[in-house]
Amino acid sequence: MKNRIAVALAAVSGLGAMTAAAADISLSGFGTVGYAQSDQSYKYQRFVNDQGTFKRDSVLGVQMDARLNDEFGFTLQGKVAPSLSSDKDWDATVSWAFLSWRPTNDWLIRVGRVRVPLYLNSENIDVGATFDFARLPAEVYTTSQATDGDGLFVSKTWNMDAGELTLNGYSGSAKTHYRFYRREDMPPLTSSGSYFVPVKVTANGLALTLQRDDNTFRVGAHDTYTKITDDQVMPVTFPYVAIMPGVGYYQTSNLVPGPGVSNETKIHAVVYTLGADVVVGNGFRVMGEYVRRDVRNISTGPDSQGAYLAVLKPIGAWTPYISAARLESMSQTRDLYNKVNSNTVPGFIPGAAQINATQRAGADGIIAYDQTTWALGTSYRVTPTSKVKAEWARTQTSDMSSLIDAPPGGESGKKAVNVFSFSYNVVF
């Protein structure tokens, strides 16, 4: 780990030294030390339980911006954060690395690794000092496994009486991981705990943003293909196998007798986003975002929609807020999860215990959500470049939530989790 950090920092320093004679160089950084603890023994959002953790929210980053001339520039950003392919490790990664060309004031072309313009806080998602939420609502901000992509990004801006209108278009790809969690062992087929599926996400999208005074509005559409890059697959659905009238099981694997499970290695989804950050009077701000992830070719997820609405009120250095958020899979996915997860065969059926275990394991492989979160928090501006934040959030699940690691023999549905978050956020 120390070697990876040293290599990343050396790369930034080395590039800065090479270009210092020919460009204007600026260095900046950001960091968050965040602690979160819940009132439950099982984990929520990968890391949070009643033992407390610094892993969910903590991040450290450094950025170099080089202005080569009036038209060309280069940006390199590296960060250290919890790994996307392991619940135990931290990774040092290059999050941004792009060459920018501004042929005129209203055109910007970037080539390389750039943040994809999905959400209102996409560009600054890692920089906690730039927003007031202790934690950006997971019901929206976890719907994309990849936030940085390698490709071509083009922006066109119009200055109008109604405000500044910017159209962002991009075509790019990114490598990341889907995380799944199994409740229990099923030897010799599977073992309990988290496992990660490596994927490559390829996307083309457009985002239109209107900036008017202190108000921001954004709408976007993104066509995505997520391809599994190892020998794992995603089942399209699970066929039902009748043993006798009223008794049967869902074939969750081709290792289990049945007509056969159709599998896919690529998930096609069209993602629609809508967001607004508006000053409504007397200093109050209202923020809200909606995301619809429309999966076209499988029933096992992650076909879903999520949204949040928040009210914020700056009072001197304080900015208290209250928010409500909702994330749910569409009915086809929720229905499949409920059918598979609740299905059992009676004990007199030969191999009943193994069959019932395959039902729970199959349900654990479905990306499904049904949860609501209420949050009450505040930020306090210590200096112009630093904030401390605190938040209490209560999440309740109805049928299920893939954000909860269900305990052995338990469920992710019908749960209530209270999470207390504290953080110190700085830019420098």
Domain ranges of the chain: 2-427
pLDDT at 30 over 60: yes
**3-state DSSP helix/strand/coil % of the chain, to nearest 5:** 10, 55, 35
- Tell me, what's the pLDDT at 8? 44
Secondary element (H or E) of residue 250: strand 247-250
Identify whether the C-beta of residue 277 lies closer than 8 Å to the C-beta of residue 285. yes
Angle, in degrees to the nearest 10, between helices 352-364 and 331-342: 160
Give first-to-last CA distance, the chain, whole Å.
Answer: 24
Residue 71 pLDDT > 60: yes
- CA-based nearest residue to 292, from 275, 311, 309: 275
Closest alpha carbon to 361 in 353, 369, 372: 353
Residues 282-295 have a mean pLDDT of: 97
Residue 270 Cα to chain centre, angstroms: 16
CB–CB of 131/387 below 8 Å?
no
User: Of 329, 344, 343, which is closest to residue 398 (Cα–Cα)?
Assistant: 329
Give φ, ψ of 70 to 5 degrees. Answer: -65, -20
Each residue of 96-129: pLDDT tens digit?
Answer: 999 999 999 999 999 999 999 999 999 999 999 9
pLDDT of 2 over the 70 cut: no
Token pair of 163, please?
Answer: 């405000």
| Residue range 338-365: mean pLDDT, rounded | 96
**306: region left, alpha or beta (phi > 0 left; psi from -120 to 50 alpha):** beta
Tell me how far apart the alpha carbons of residues 98 and 77 are, in angstroms, rounded to a whole number.
9
Q: pLDDT grade, residue 9 (50/70/90)?
A: very low
pLDDT of residue 145: 75
- The helix/strand/coil state of 327 is strand
Contacts with 350 (C-beta within 8 Å, 6 or more apart), sequence order = none
pLDDT in tens, 189-242: 778 999 999 999 999 999 999 999 999 999 999 999 999 999 999 999 999 999
Q: What is the pLDDT of residue 301?
A: 86
**Measured distance CA(165)–CA(191) in Å, rounded:** 51
Query: Are the CB atoms for 63 and 77 separated by under 8 Å?
Result: yes
Q: How confident is the model at residue 6 (pLDDT cuts 50, 70, 90)?
A: very low
Pull the structure tokens for residue 405. 């690691």
The CA distance from 153 to 211, in Å, is 19
Q: Which two tokens stand for residue 242?
A: 């009748």
Q: Are strands 284-295 and 247-250 parallel, antiparallel or unpaired?
A: unpaired
Mean pLDDT along residues 367-396: 98
Average pLDDT over residues 279-305: 96
Name the superfamily (CATH) of residues 2-427. Answer: Porin (2.40.160.10)
**What's the residue count for the chain?**
428
Place of tokens 């941004």: 96
Query: Within the chain, what is the greatest distance between any pair of CA atoms?
Result: 80
Distance CA 106, CA 100 (A): 13
pLDDT bucket at 144, cuts 50 / 70 / 90: confident
CB atoms near residue 31 (< 10 Å): 22
Instruction: Identify the band that residue 22 occupies on the pLDDT scale cut at 50, 70 and 90.
Output: low
189: left (phi over 0), alpha (psi -120 to 50) or beta: alpha
Q: Nearest-CA neighbor of 423 among 383, 384, 377? A: 377
Of residues 407 and 169, the one with the higher pLDDT is 169
